[in-house]
Amino acid sequence: MIHRVRGTRDILDTRLFEYAVSTIATYVKKYHFTPIMTPVLESVDLFKRSLGTETDVVSKEMFIVSSSSGQSDESICLRPEATASTIRAFVEEGVQQTPWKVFSWGPMFRYERPQKGRFRQFNQFNLECIGSASVAQDAQFITMLDRIFNQQFALDSYGLHINFLGTPEERKAFRGTLLTYLDGQSGLCQTCQVRKTTNILRVFDCKQDACRAICESAPTLEQAFGQASRTEWQQLRNYLEELSVCFTVNTRLVRGLDYYNKTVFEFVSSDLGSQTAFCGGGRYDHLVSQIGGKEDQPSIGAAIGLDRLVMILEAHPEKLMLPQDPAVYVVIPLSDQQHGLALQCVDALIYAGHTVELLSDGSVKSMMRKANKMGAASAIIIGDDEQAAGTVTVKNMQSSDVQVLKLADLPKFLK
């Protein structure tokens, strides 16, 4: 027996997953987002340049791919996220029109320690709005996501955390202030000692009690903001309040990828155990030039963790407007001689828009049992007599009523 790879999973019924994807896609198209697709394989350099070499995703979690011949000298990986790929496509394909509002969804790969809600292969629904600087865009983007969760999926037990990271210059100034403060403290965990030199803001993200306590009294990033950042941060909160979007300001929210500036946010749910975030994103105004584009494009985006969203939805399917499964008709030829006729019958029913299953193995009794188990609406039985007369016998599986019909009349009868 060969088992699936650790941190991956088989989803044997993808209906809820598909419903989630199509609901989000339909909704975001109203905001004029259009679908794109980018490759799962990307160059490692793309993520080094965009996410930052010191981030966990790049330094510890990349799946590096090589060909079996070992001939490729390019360093390739399985994408850990989709923002960098979307920006690469924007630059490489020379997209001119902005804002470029696009979405994509598919598998991402991170070599993390697997646990509930955390996989090594997981799925994201990714949204990017490239080429718009206004904070009104941030408010609209966050509101759109909130409406998806709240209105489209009827989620009620989730929270929206927002924070403002200021400009790169403001963060640079703040890093110095924070370092001076942290150097005067004792008790920081080993990881945070390293973070002081690699990614100091991530100290705010630490779950250790001692580090949390130290962060409680730390200077805040907001103290380093200039007038423009102060105004934007206030405007964002005002807009969200005016749109009745509930949020919590979380000054510890710094996000794990380096490209963010200004607005960042996460949607969290207590239904998910320790992996609470089911959507995360923010503004990134300098990624286009980081990746090699000529002109910076202020942008905002987010990714919804589809596996985690579906875990939440599974808990209350009754609140969802799930599409009804169509009635299934089962065609049962009584012997090999009727297989040809049964095939034609299935073909005609499918053409007429019905959902049909051909059962052609085992005794009539076992085929009827299978039809019952799969919840078939009717069984269409074709034996010697039916074949000779050009008819079929239709048994309604609920009422057990039996009717003999001309084969040609069957599609219409089932309608």
CB of 365 to ligand HAM, least distance (A): 46
Residues between 320 and 379 that touch ligand HAM (CB under 6 A): none
DSSP-derived secondary structure letter, 62: -
Q: Which residues have C-beta within 8 Å of that of residue 377, sequence separation ≥ 6? A: 327, 328, 329, 396, 397, 398
Identity of the residue, 137 or 391, whose beta carbon is nearer to ligand HAM in the bound complex:
137
Q: Which residues have C-beta within 8 Å of that of residue 56, sequence separation ≥ 6? A: 256
Stretch that binds ligand HAM, among 24-32, 34-42, 113-121, 321-329 (CB under 6 A): 113-121
Nearest to 58 by CA among 71, 42, 38: 42
- If binding is defined by CB under 6 A, does position 110 make contact with ligand HAM? yes
- If binding is defined by CB under 6 A, does position 307 make contact with ligand HAM? yes
Q: Which residues have C-beta within 8 Å of that of residue 182, sequence separation ≥ 6? A: 188, 192, 196, 200, 203, 214, 218
Dist. CA 2–CA 338, nearest whole Å: 40
Q: Which residues have C-beta within 8 Å of that of residue 21, sequence separation ≥ 6? A: 105, 125, 306
Residues pairing with 248 in the sheet: 161
Residues between 255 and 284 that touch ligand HAM (CB under 6 A): 256, 277-282
Dist. CA 229–CA 63, nearest whole Å: 37
Stretch that binds ligand HAM, among 30-38, 39-47, 95-103, 302-310 (CB under 6 A): 302-310
Identity of the residue, 131 or 301, whose beta carbon is nearer to ligand HAM in the bound complex:
301
Of 38, 50, 126, 269, which one interacts with ligand HAM (CB under 6 A)? 126
Please tell me the chain's helix, strand, coil percentages from 3-state DSSP, rounded to the nearest 5. Answer: 40, 20, 35
Stretch that binds ligand HAM, among 120-128, 212-220, 244-252, 393-401 (CB under 6 A): 120-128
Instruction: Characterize the bridge pairing of strands 121-130 and 299-305.
Output: antiparallel
- If binding is defined by CB under 6 A, does position 118 make contact with ligand HAM? yes
- Continuous H helices in 184-226: 190-198, 209-216
DSSP-derived secondary structure letter, 150: I
- Continuous H helices in 97-150: 135-147
Dist. CA 263–CA 340, nearest whole Å: 64
Residues between 69 and 98 that touch ligand HAM (CB under 6 A): 81-83
Identity of the residue, 263 or 378, whose beta carbon is nearer to ligand HAM in the bound complex:
263
Q: Which residues have C-beta within 8 Å of that of residue 309, sequence separation ≥ 6? A: 20, 153, 278, 279
Identity of the residue, 56 or 386, whose beta carbon is nearer to ligand HAM in the bound complex:
56
- If binding is defined by CB under 6 A, does position 302 make contact with ligand HAM? yes
CB of 220 to ligand HAM, least distance (A): 22
- If binding is defined by CB under 6 A, does position 137 make contact with ligand HAM? no
Of 112, 205, 296, 357, which one interacts with ligand HAM (CB under 6 A)? 112
Nearest to 381 by CA among 335, 326, 314, 328: 335
Give the burial class of 388: count Cβ atoms within 10 A of its Cβ; 0-12 exposed, 13-18 middle, 19 or more buried. exposed
CB of 106 to ligand HAM, least distance (A): 12
Stretch that binds ligand HAM, among 109-117, 131-139, 232-240, 380-388 (CB under 6 A): 109-117
Residue in the shown chain whose Cβ atom is closest to ligand HAM: 305
- If binding is defined by CB under 6 A, does position 305 make contact with ligand HAM? yes
Binding to ligand HAM by CB under 6 A, coded x per residue (else -) over 217-256, reads: ---------------------------------------x
- If binding is defined by CB under 6 A, does position 303 make contact with ligand HAM? yes
CB of 303 to ligand HAM, least distance (A): 4
Of 88, 101, 262, 308, which one interacts with ligand HAM (CB under 6 A)? 308
**Helix axes 135-147 and 227-242, enclosed angle (nearest 10):** 30
Residues touching ligand HAM: how many (CB under 6 A)? 25
Q: By the criterion CB under 6 A, which residues form the site for ligand HAM?
A: 81-83, 110, 112, 117-119, 122, 124, 126, 128, 256, 277-282, 301-303, 305, 307-308
